[in-house]
Chain A
Amino acid sequence: MITIVLRGIFCKLHIVCCIKQVPDTTQVKIDPQTNTLIRTGVESICNPYDIVAVEAAVKLAEKNGGKVTVITMGPPQADSALRDCLAVGANEAILLSDRAFAGADTLATSYTLSQAVKKISATEQVDIVICGKQAIDGDTAQVGPGLATRLGFEQITYISEVISASKDKIRVKREVDGGSEIIETKYPVLMTVELELGLPRYASLPELVRSVRQEVKVWGAVDIGANIEQLGLKGSPTSVKEIFAPKTRTGGAVIDAQGNGVNQFLDTFFQKEPEVVKEIWGGGA
């Protein structure tokens, strides 16, 4: 109890990380014949970009003094992803779990998260929110910017390096088309992070023990004062019409490169692919 109080008093930065539990997607496939999912041994993991976000937050808190709160929206099992974050240095964890949250698209998700961050901020003001740049199951990269917009925070996406941070501002490097930008901004800010920022540390044994024992708060729709119309399925303007297997490519000519194989290949290519040849090397190449 005393440590919690002391942490409260000396806390300089309050950082909230938003994480997501995702299936390990490289293992999920669809059977093109039956249009069913093949999910042999698909595990649930913490989204890799979000783990990087937690490590960045913990580092910031270590350097500047502060506290890291991790939140996730998901079913009760998402508790394990939160505990993974506690094990690598997050101080507190909150699970947003309610039947009303289910079936949310990115608009409803950012609403739910924003209500939670507002509630957290009411007792301990939030300076920084860090999210992974995207989740590997949906790959939308939309929740972070949506959350920043709802909170009215400054928004800096695709961060590859935290250069410096002080009590009231932060300087970061972000990746854009054609290069990178060095940006400085005041708090409050929401940042989304790239993998280059660095993987998390290994959990120490005492931290592991703490992560298992520590209480994870569970908040539902009522706890975050949410308008039910904006949550989950009801609050989601997008809906899935259908899913199907992507067109798979089938192999073509297999040529033995021995002897005249390479020339044979070039002849065939120029003969059979005049459009590609034209597109690449133009009419006069």
Chain B
Amino acid sequence: MPKNAKGRDIAEIIPAKCIGCQLCVGECKVDAIRMENGVAIIDSEKCIGCGKCVDVCPSNAVLFEKIRKKKAVIPAAEVKPGTEANIKPEYHGVAVFIEVVRGEVSDVSWELAGKARELADKLQTEVIGLLLGSNVGEVAKEAIAYGCDSVYVMDKPVLAAYFSRMYGRALVSMCEQVKPEIVLIGATPLGRDLSSVVATQLQTGLTADCTGLDIEPDIKLLSMTRPTFGGNIMATIWCRTRRPQMSTVRPRVMKMPVKDPARSGEIIPLDFSADGITVPQLIEFLPRAAEAGGVDITKAPVLVVAGKGACDAKSLPMLEQLAQVMGGSLACSRPVIQAGLLPYVRQVGQTGKTVAPQLYIGVGVSGAVQHLVGMQGSRKIVAINIDKEAPLVKIADYSLIGDYKQIIPELIKGFEARSSQLKNKPQSNLKGSQA
């Protein structure tokens, strides 16, 4: 155990484990910890060996062996069952914000309804839909079919278009009246804009862009897991003492539930007053040209992705054809954008879109980290590359090594042959049909 000049036992930071969260800096009562290049450093002469930094460190980066009497933070295992869940007993139910954009419900809302059902079952509570908009009566019924037990609705002409402060007031008012213990919102542009307005007004915790949600057994807290540091680290976050526990959730991560029109539930209209709220003027909406034609790469079940190795104007029609034959879309990595061959909306990666298709086919995509973080959630990955050492090949479920100019036409031909075979055969005979 290291000691300082005064003979005190002192704490030490293990730099490799430090994630630079600064929790210890805030906790240290004697100002002994400072940040340098993203790593905490303890000034041994200032340190009094109280060990508070050890307790707050989420990554066990503080080395401190002295035995202490009191613990500042109680580890999860030592929290008495129910204590945190009952911190505000008037809050109950798992609520889902149902996002309606220009008359259409975002798929993520139903994905969340499915997840909320699972969480609510673990908490033995109900699933609540929170619906804002204009002429959304049918949507409320749909919400029940997707698993909500009750749906609170503010159906007003002023809520026809989304404006941060207008929707913010509406959803805050809903949460104050309904008092859900959990509020889930889709991590769409709208959802991420709105969620922070609401959490700030309710003065509660909000965790962004989650990819995993679960209920911690015993203490009944919502464990919210999200990628951080550009997707290189996963962090699980808790909101211990304030309610509701709020989270935005990444689209297409949770499974779409099965719609059951026979389900019954309660639809409860709520009043809304927009008094005193000014909104900006929406001059015009410009639909994205490519997306208006049906191309939204985040929604395609199959993506054929052109990379640096296929960065060639002559080859793109061939790739587009493969995408079409497979019922998918054409996307690309950054070099193809930089070469001006495809528009920005088709880019996959850290500075482009995050995609998770059923089938990702990378053609000449080497697999730089910035690209991988945008696609590694894909269900199946196929790499077509001349180089079998390419990083994408290392993570792909299937790799075809060779010249894509020969491979793609063969794929198109081979797939067409099989798809026509598949049409008349039941799924169970699939295997036999390939003999």
Contact = CB atoms under 8 A, between A and B. Distances in A.
20 contacts: A36-B14, A37-B233, A38-B16, A77-B35, A102-B25, A107-B206, A110-B200, A140-B208, A140-B209, A171-B283, A178-B101, A179-B285, A181-B285, A233-B56, A237-B205, A243-B19, A262-B400, A265-B398, A270-B434, A279-B301
Closest 3 CB pairs of A and B: A257-B402, A103-B26, A237-B205
Interface string A238-249: 111111111011
B400 A257 contact: yes
Contacts of B324: none
Interface stretch (A116-124, A148-156, A211-219): A148-156
Contacts of B376: 246, 249
Interface residues of A, number: 109
B395 A248 contact: yes
B281 A246 contact: no
Interface string B274-315: 000010111111111001100010000110000000000000
Interface string B415-435: 100110011001100110010
Interface in B385-435: 388, 393-403, 406-407, 410-411, 414-415, 418-419, 422-423, 426-427, 430-431, 434
Given A44-B37, A253-B398, A280-B302, A138 B25 contact: no
Contact of B38 (A42, A105, A278): A42
Contact of B418 (A110, A249, A251, A270): A270
B233 A28 contact: yes
Contacts of A144: 196
Contacts of A245: 233-234
A157 interface: yes
B63 interface: no
Given A37-B18, A139-B209, A177-B190, A103 B414 contact: no
Interface of A: 23, 25-26, 28-30, 35-39, 42-44, 75-77, 99-107, 110, 136-146, 148-150, 154-158, 171, 173, 175-186, 189, 195-196, 232-234, 236-246, 248-258, 261-263, 265-271, 273-274, 276-281, 283-285
Contact of A243 (B36, B38, B204, B233): B233
Interface bin, chain B: 35 or more
B96 interface: no
Contacts of A243: 19, 58-59, 228, 233-236
B229 A137 contact: yes
Given A99-B31, A178-B287, A257 B422 contact: no
B277 to A, nearest CB: 10
B233 A177 contact: no
B192 interface: yes
B196 A106 contact: yes
B164 interface: yes
A283 B427 contact: yes
Interface of B: 14-28, 31, 34-39, 56, 58-59, 76, 101-102, 106, 164-165, 168, 188-190, 192-197, 199-201, 203-209, 223, 227-242, 278, 280-288, 291-292, 296, 301-302, 326-327, 344, 350-351, 358-359, 369-370, 376, 379-382, 384, 388, 393-403, 406-407, 410-411, 414-415, 418-419, 422-423, 426-427, 430-431, 434
Contact of B235 (A26, A43, A240): A240
A186 to B, nearest CB: 8
Contact of A141 (B192, B326, B344, B419): B192
A266 B410 CA distance: 10
B232 A266 contact: no
A26 B200 contact: no
A45 to B, nearest CB: 11
Contacts of B192: 141-142, 145, 157
Given A180-B286, A184-B281, A255 B201 contact: no
B311 to A, nearest CB: 20
A142 to B, nearest CB: 4
Contact of B58 (A30, A149, A242, A263): A242
A264 B231 CA distance: 34
Nearest to A158: B189
